[in-house]
């Protein structure tokens, strides 16, 4: 076979592979478009695999990177970590993969008689979508904060409670209050109701809490959630306190210390009380959240982390840079 023939076959292999794997064309469609036979298309695809022009990678969300998980626990003091393989430049897919991994972990680790607090956010919503029916009985689920009305279902915590309770055959408690009100005086009045006191009493009995991690980004995430409450005075308070992240709208700084006067009027479990929960499991994905996650670990807010390998590596990179 001449060099020109080899070169031409290589071009054909690449063209056929692009049409088949990237564009999703059927082999007969490719044959017709390129003026070759269907068996030739099949042969070129096989050759492309043999020559490693085409390689196939399977991302298995059930495959925990135990080496990286052990390293992360060693470096940060986490009790446990579950690290899911990530797909570069695919944040939405990675969020779904972490959600699947977290759902499997939770299904294995929540036991009968557990009392589980549920936060909110896209990560918890992804977990809820990935749950499968369990035989576990007598599990109680309770919200860790109020809701945000008619916005995205990610932040409708009572709906998340309903879904978790359904799949675990559990008992659910709901908190029919907004996540944030005008001021602390209004908050205190609402939290003094009998229904609210029932929820706060259960917070003191939690065995597990499932939370997401928020970042302090006034232009995107925070602005979307708290547009009516993030006035210049509030923003300035968070900036001056060096806030880097939040859990259920309770903010903390780079060292994991609470920002006590960050966002006022928040209806949710205080971070001081969250610290007393035996196992706080954070589900979070995205390298942009690495600092917020690390700071939550430093503050001992979370004990278990479920994330992807890109985010885990980003956390370790921050720690490495800090040692220089």
Percent of the chain scored above 90 by pLDDT?
Answer: 56
- pLDDT in the model for residue 227: 59
Burial class from Cβ neighbours inside 10 Å (0-12, 13-18, 19+) for residue 156 reads middle
User: Cα–Cα distance between 28 and 135 in angstroms, integer?
Assistant: 48
Q: Parallel, antiparallel, or unpaired: how do β-strands 214-215 and 115-118 relate?
A: unpaired
Which residue ranges form the domains of the chain, and what is each CATH number? Answer: 3-50 (1.10.10.60), 66-323 (3.40.50.1360)
- pLDDT in the model for residue 73: 96
**Lowest mean pLDDT: which of 75-79, 269-273, 283-287?**
269-273
- pLDDT in the model for residue 218: 57
Per the prediction, the chain carries an average pLDDT of 88
- pLDDT in the model for residue 225: 59
* pLDDT surpasses 90 at 101: yes
* pLDDT surpasses 50 at 61: yes
Quote the distance between the C-alpha of residue 29 and its chain's center: 40
* pLDDT surpasses 60 at 296: yes
The tokens for 166 are 């359904």
* pLDDT surpasses 90 at 302: yes
Mean pLDDT of 301-324: 94
User: Cα–Cα distance between 305 and 312 in angstroms, integer?
Assistant: 10
pLDDT band, residue 293 (cuts 50/70/90):
very high
pLDDT band, residue 324 (cuts 50/70/90):
confident
Strand 115-118: give its sheet, edge to edge: 80-84, 304-308, 279-283, 208-211, 115-118, 140-143, 171-172
pLDDT in tens, 171-224: 999 988 888 888 889 999 999 988 899 999 999 999 999 999 988 875 555 555
Residue scoring higher pLDDT (233 or 116): 116
Quick one: which of 236, 257, 237 has its CA closest to 247?
Answer: 257
Mean pLDDT of 288-311: 96
Mean pLDDT of 90-96: 90
* pLDDT surpasses 60 at 23: yes
- pLDDT in the model for residue 217: 73
pLDDT in tens, 129-155: 999 998 877 899 999 998 866 556 667
Which pTM does this prediction carry? 0.82
User: Cα–Cα distance between 231 and 78 in angstroms, integer?
Assistant: 35
Residue scoring higher pLDDT (118 or 195): 118
* pLDDT surpasses 50 at 316: yes
Quick one: which of 321, 250, 318 has its CA closest to 287?
Answer: 318
- pLDDT in the model for residue 220: 59
């Amino acid at each position: 076979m001449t060099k020109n023939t080899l070169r031409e076959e290589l071009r054909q292999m690449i063209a056929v592979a692009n049409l088949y794997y990237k564009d999703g064309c059927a082999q007969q469609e490719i044959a017709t478009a390129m003026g070759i036979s269907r068996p030739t298309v099949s042969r070129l695809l096989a050759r492309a695999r043999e020559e490693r022009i085409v390689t196939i990678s399977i991302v298995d969300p059930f495959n925990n990177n135990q080496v990286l998980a052990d390293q992360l626990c060693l470096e940060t003091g986490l009790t446990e970590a579950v690290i899911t393989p990530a797909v570069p430049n695919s944040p939405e897919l990675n969020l779904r993969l972490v959600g699947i991994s977290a759902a499997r972990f939770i299904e294995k680790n929540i036991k009968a008689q557990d009392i589980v607090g549920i936060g909110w956010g896209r990560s918890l919503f992804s977990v809820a979508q990935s749950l499968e029916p369990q035989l576990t009985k007598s599990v109680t689920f309770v919200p860790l904060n109020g809701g945000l009305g008619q916005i995205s279902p990610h932040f409708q915590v009572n709906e998340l409670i309903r879904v978790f309770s359904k799949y675990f055959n559990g008992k659910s408690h709901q908190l029919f209050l907004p996540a944030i009100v005008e001021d602390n005086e209004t908050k205190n009045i609402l939290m003094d109701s009998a229904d609210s006191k029932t929820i706060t009493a259960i917070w003191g009995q939690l065995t597990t809490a499932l939370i997401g991690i928020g970042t302090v980004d006034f232009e995107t995430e925070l602005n979307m959630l708290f547009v009516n409450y993030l006035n210049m005075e509030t923003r300035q308070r968070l900036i001056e306190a060096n806030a880097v992240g939040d859990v259920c709208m309770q903010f903390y700084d780079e060292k994991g210390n609470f920002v006590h006067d960050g966002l006022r009027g928040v209806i949710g479990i205080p971070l001081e009380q969250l610290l007393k929960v035996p196992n706080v499991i954070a589900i979070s994905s995205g390298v942009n959240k690495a600092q917020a996650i690390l700071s939550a670990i430093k503050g001992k807010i979370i004990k278990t982390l479920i994330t992807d390998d890109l985010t885990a590596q980003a956390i370790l990179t921050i720690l490495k840079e800090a040692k220089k």
